Structure 1
């Protein structure tokens, strides 16, 4: 059905730099004649409505406790009603525009716009988000804080916007609801496969680092509470005995553009370390420069992330150091640092390490002494550690490549959805006939019997 969409028969110049030509039978009007700015009183029992950057406008409890719009404490709440077009004055440039699904209250940072008769708020939510994605809102608005803008109703109201006939606005919304539902289901299906692949990868790593590569090897009790049996010839030793040193990082604030890059907890992900390209220190003591195969673990983070470990793949010539809430583990030459990185990031070990952290409010702390005392299963020969690394790289690498392909497919689906919405709301594609063919129960894309997406999407979904 999507593949069958065609342009309108005739177009005319819209006069809008961000839009281009529009269907000839469409009109255009200033937004202030289509919407009324509301400033309603609130009731004591009104719940808080939040507008998120993905276009969802809902009660805060329906989404999450904290959102993009709560960096500042505001007073003077205003009433928001279900069906209002809500535009976040500071984050509109980033897509915080949508139609409220609830009655409630919001801060004065929101532009609360009530549609006039014949105006479909959902159509204009799509349209104004397109103004955002085209950078038009960013170009119009005046910056009032870093990376943000002030897009108030007066500015929105003075913008001329396309005005399709009311039944066509409804058809566009109906079609996009269906198409978005189909595309979102395809994305969710791929996400489920990625989750299963990640479980498979973790199972490969866990088996290799706790039992080795020989399935028929004799086993013995490890005496480690989180583990169980291990190969007969393996040892059990505390982590600190595998290390030359454990070091806390620099506490100096990173404000300049020095040559020494500083790693933070955000640079550790999936067992790897990403070196930032900007921001750094002019100098640090030589002992705080990282060397190839140094490990870093998060000693202070949220309870969900504390204890995560990353492997630094560079060397001292790169001049990279690390922040004080990270701890550097330098591995003795008799052990393979990559093997140890796999072990410390394995699900079963990491779960145990997290249980040793001290939790206060929303932060957890796992100090180096407590971490270093955790007992590990150790292959007695370095060669066996090397073999385990090669095995994991081979087997887990296949899984990672499959996950990467699915992530890329998700990225392409999202790009396709963005382009489709942009073309439909701007009148580049005519969806009237397609919308009319949608059965009532499939209008929101909730049925698996929806009409075909077309070859470019069917193939993607089938691979999931």
Structure 2
């Protein structure tokens, strides 16, 4: 896709160090000539569709996520029109990972903690969005914050340099990037579908092993739990608190990011499908680490657990130490005389714990578990020697599946990196797409992907990531 593109024939110095050389016929203008702020309050509850900025996209907020906010709270929100550009402006110094720019496709309302922008006649709306999107993807936007907490205001954004080609050329750029993005999303969606199928196969292996063991002829007995049914003789149902030495909850906020800090802050976004991912974590200093580990410091062999956003993800604490928890995080320290750490991890993803959490959450995927609900999690416990054999069995059966999943995840990461570089190079005039755009076929419904790329494995949804806490009144 990119191999057919060439640089522009004539370039000039932009006068902006990070932009460098730009096409000779492009204008360099301050953002105030291209964007203007827009804030119309939702007085009188004119609009009831609540929108959310999630992973760089403006989406309609699910009904279940609105619980706890009474309708009057939405009068403080601002009305958003299709084409508006939404900017998450807060806390730049503590969160340099989440995407902060979104492009509204629907009319609705969104928290006034965000900035809402319109484009002027100087640029096509889609080009204006893609240009700010490039600032976001390249993290250039973080250099424009002000104030103690490094928040963005329009007075900060208005001084950003914006490159402005002709409308015809903007249209070619938008057309090319839209075509490229659809192809990339389609490929990513296919790989994500494969990952989901492989993870389902892995879950079947885990479910069988942690509820029936390895002996297909084992004698069963009633579990005493109505919805669980029979379990192997010699197994017991025990509460989490009775088989752990420690169950440590996080503080109610996340420590400050310190780029040159020696300690890593683990957030809910670092834990997915039983795996620990460092992408999306950040560093902090000794002072913050000491404060955030007053209740205890996670150690190798402990199990991380997310109590919200989302609920119920878990992984083993990796080796190396130096980790502290952000908000909505917990860790469990199993009693080794009763419970193998990896058996606990598999059990969390097994049917008994999943069913328990589903009942406690009343079927919601976006709720949260209280500490008492977590310590009461029921576990099927067998002798430790049998737990160890079950863990070895699951590891062996899952090895090939894990390899394919890991390879697909790496390919998705590379595709996303490629997309970021492509967007940045095109909107900043490093690559000429005019001829390529002219050769593209007209887009029709048959060319649209059947499935949309999701970002569940990327950053997943921490309320402090991609969204801010919604202001509102508890019901």
- Which residue is equivalent to 1:32? 32
- Give 1:420 deviation, angstroms: 0.4
Q: Distance in 2 between matches of 1:376 and 1:119?
A: 61
- Give 1:423 deviation, angstroms: 0.8
Contact 1:208 1:388 in 2 (8 A): yes
Number of aligned residue pairs: give it.
Answer: 421
- Which residue is equivalent to 2:133? 129
Contact 1:250 1:321 in 2 (8 A): no
| 1:101 maps to which of 101, 105, 113 | 105
Q: Distance in 1 between matches of 2:28 and 2:374?
A: 68
Contact 2:220 2:231 in 1 (8 A): yes
Using a 3 Å threshold, how does the CA distance of structure 1 residues 59 and 12 change in structure 2: closer, same or farther? same
- Which residue is equivalent to 1:5? 5
Cα deviations by residue, 1:193-248 (Å, 9 ceiling, x for unpaired) = 1111111111122223334445xx424333124555666xx523233799776545
Using a 3 Å threshold, how does the CA distance of structure 1 residues 103 and 17 change in structure 2: closer, same or farther? same
- Which residue is equivalent to 1:83? 83
Q: Distance in 2 between matches of 1:264 and 1:58?
A: 23
Contact 2:298 2:323 in 1 (8 A): yes
Contact 1:99 1:121 in 2 (8 A): no
Using the TM superposition, name which of 172-181 and 107-116 deviates more: 107-116
Q: Distance in 2 between matches of 1:183 and 1:348?
A: 35
Q: Distance in 2 between matches of 1:297 and 1:136?
A: 33
Is residue 2:432 matched to residue 1:422?
Answer: no
Using the TM superposition, name which of 268-277 and 190-199 deviates more: 268-277
- Give 1:326 deviation, angstroms: 5.5
Q: Which runs of 5+ in 2 are unaligned?
A: 68-72, 451-475
Is residue 2:120 matched to residue 1:115?
Answer: yes
SS of corresponding position for 1:238: strand
Matches within 5 A, 1:441-452: 441-442=443-444, 446=448
- Which residue is equivalent to 1:222? 221
- Which residue is equivalent to 2:211? 210
Q: Distance in 2 between matches of 1:26 and 1:35?
A: 17
- Which residue is equivalent to 2:290? 280
Using a 3 Å threshold, how does the CA distance of structure 1 residues 386 and 190 change in structure 2: closer, same or farther? same
- Which residue is equivalent to 1:138? 142
- Which residue is equivalent to 1:409? 411
Matches within 5 A, 1:172-187: 172-187=173-188
Using a 3 Å threshold, how does the CA distance of structure 1 residues 358 and 7 change in structure 2: closer, same or farther? closer
- Give 1:80 deviation, angstroms: 4.3
Q: Distance in 2 between matches of 1:130 and 1:30?
A: 16
Contact 2:86 2:103 in 1 (8 A): yes
Cα deviations by residue, 1:168-189 (Å, 9 ceiling, x for unpaired) = 1011111111111111111111
Q: CA RMSD in A?
A: 4.9
Is residue 2:369 matched to residue 1:364?
Answer: yes
- Which residue is equivalent to 1:166? 167
Using a 3 Å threshold, how does the CA distance of structure 1 residues 6 and 100 change in structure 2: closer, same or farther? same
- Give 1:352 deviation, angstroms: 3.7
Q: Give the structure with higher Rg (CA).
A: 1
Is residue 2:236 matched to residue 1:237?
Answer: yes
Using a 3 Å threshold, how does the CA distance of structure 1 residues 443 and 424 change in structure 2: closer, same or farther? farther
SS of corresponding position for 2:3: helix
| 1:350 maps to which of 336, 349, 353 | 353
Using a 3 Å threshold, how does the CA distance of structure 1 residues 394 and 57 change in structure 2: closer, same or farther? closer
Contact 2:315 2:345 in 1 (8 A): no
Higher RCO (C-alpha 8 Å, min separation 6): 2
Q: Distance in 1 between matches of 2:323 and 2:58?
A: 42
Using the TM superposition, name which of 123-132 and 204-213 deviates more: 204-213
Contact 1:180 1:445 in 2 (8 A): no
Matches within 5 A, 1:53-92: 54-57=55-58, 60=61, 80-90=80-90
- Which residue is equivalent to 1:188? 189
- Which residue is equivalent to 2:453? none
